Amino acid sequence: MLTLNSVSLVYTNGKASVNALVDINFQIEQGKSYAIIGPSGCGKTSLIFLMMGLLHPTKGEILFNGKPLLKPHRDTALILQEYGLLPWKTVWENAALGLKLRQVDEKEIKCILERVFEELELTECIDRYPSQLSGGQKQRVALARALSLKPKLLLMDEPLSALDALTRENLQEVILKLIKRYQMTSVLVTHSIEEAVYIGQKIVILSGRPGRICAQIDNPEQGTDGYRKKTSYHEKCSEVRSLLEVYSQ
């Protein structure tokens, strides 16, 4: 679905330049869920912005279904760390924005959003502004906005990092359920080992700056019932932790 061929990213500011990502080769297969994990400042966010088409590689190429990705693709949606909601729009207006920009007519927007809002238990909040919502509710609105576009690829940049533990676990369940129901391919960037193991069928480990892919681990039991309480889940967490310790040196 999405292919990254020898992708490198260098940030330049005047004469200074910083290597953010080096030689990333990575293939995202349709229907799978990926978790990318690495130490702070390793370029995780840059990587997800590259996949979204918001940044362009300094070297290498990114292909979406075989075609070069030059701008955000219609089939991709992004959820940001600080939710990315606009404070001046109500919950409804925020969620409707993507559809509005695609010139979907009001009637259809209403039809789509009512369904998504019911699914995400947001129906009571539609007239509120983001400042009147809890962190968990804000992230649900961000999810609603992404889902309303029926994306085939859902990119998430540390979407749950600002939330408390319980809300976080609850939203992990919601995300998993939605990925399945909407049959989306998903990429989650996180710094939480537990979250990466709980959500990623494939876990990608990045090294410290400049970010390189050090390891890709299969996580075949992901998504099975009660996975969080299984021994295999804890073993996988330990495996990821020890790899991170090695590569973040």
Partner 1 sequence: MNSNMNKTITYFAAALFLFVLWDILALLLRNPALPRPVPALIAFFEIFPQSLWRHFLISTYRVLVSLFIGLAIAVPLGLYLGREPKLDKWVSPQLYLTYPIPKIALLPVIFAIFNIGDLSKIILIVLIIFFQIIVTTRDAAQNIPANSVLSVLSLGATPGEIYRHVIIPACLPEIFTAARISLGTAISILFFTESFATFDGLGYFIFEAWSRVNYPEMFAGIIAISLQGFILFLILDFLQRRFCPWLYT
Which residues contact partner 1 by CB under 8 A?
A: 49, 52, 54, 71-72, 74, 76-78, 80-89, 97-98, 101-102, 128-129, 131-132, 142, 145, 149
Q: Which is nearer to partner 1, 71 or 107 (CB)?
A: 71
Q: Measured from the CB atom, is 39 or 151 closer to partner 1? A: 151
Nearer to partner 1, 84 or 135 (CB): 84
For the bound state, the minimum distance from the C-beta of residue 129 to partner 1, rounded and expressed in Å, comes to: 4
210 preceded by a cis bond (ω within 30 of 0): yes
Backbone phi and psi for residue 205, each to the nearest 5 degrees, phi listed first: -110, 125
The least CB distance from residue 132 to partner 1, in Å, is 6
Rounded to a whole number of angstroms, the minimum distance from the CB of residue 69 to partner 1 is: 13
The DSSP code for 228 is G
Task: Specify the residue, 128 or 209, whose C-beta has the smaller distance to partner 1.
Answer: 128
> Phi and psi (nearest 5°) for 25?
-115, 120
Question: Rounded distance, CA 116 to CA 103, Å?
Answer: 19
Residue 79 CB, nearest distance to partner 1 (Å)? 9
Least distance CB 73 / partner 1 (angstroms):
8
Question: Which of residues 63 and 97 has its CB atom nearest to partner 1 in the complex?
Answer: 97
Nearer to partner 1 among residue 81 and residue 170 (C-beta): 81
Q: C-beta of 15: minimal distance to partner 1 in Å?
A: 16
Strands 2-13 and 16-28: antiparallel
Task: Note whether 111 and 102 are within 8 A (CB).
Answer: no
Instruction: Identify which of residues 131 and 249 has a Cβ nearer to partner 1 in the complex.
Output: 131
Please, which residues bridge with residue 188 across strands?
Answer: 35, 156
3-state secondary structure of 208: coil
Burial of 215 (0-12, 13-18, 19+ CB in 10 A): middle
Q: What is the DSSP string of 4-52?
A: EEEEEEEEEETTEEEEEEEEEEEEEPTT-EEEEE--TTSSHHHHHHHHH
Phi first, then psi: what are they for 173, rounded to 5°? -60, -45
Beta carbon of residue 100, minimum distance to partner 1 (angstroms, whole number): 9
Task: Measure the CA dihedral 90/94/100/104, to 10°.
Answer: -90
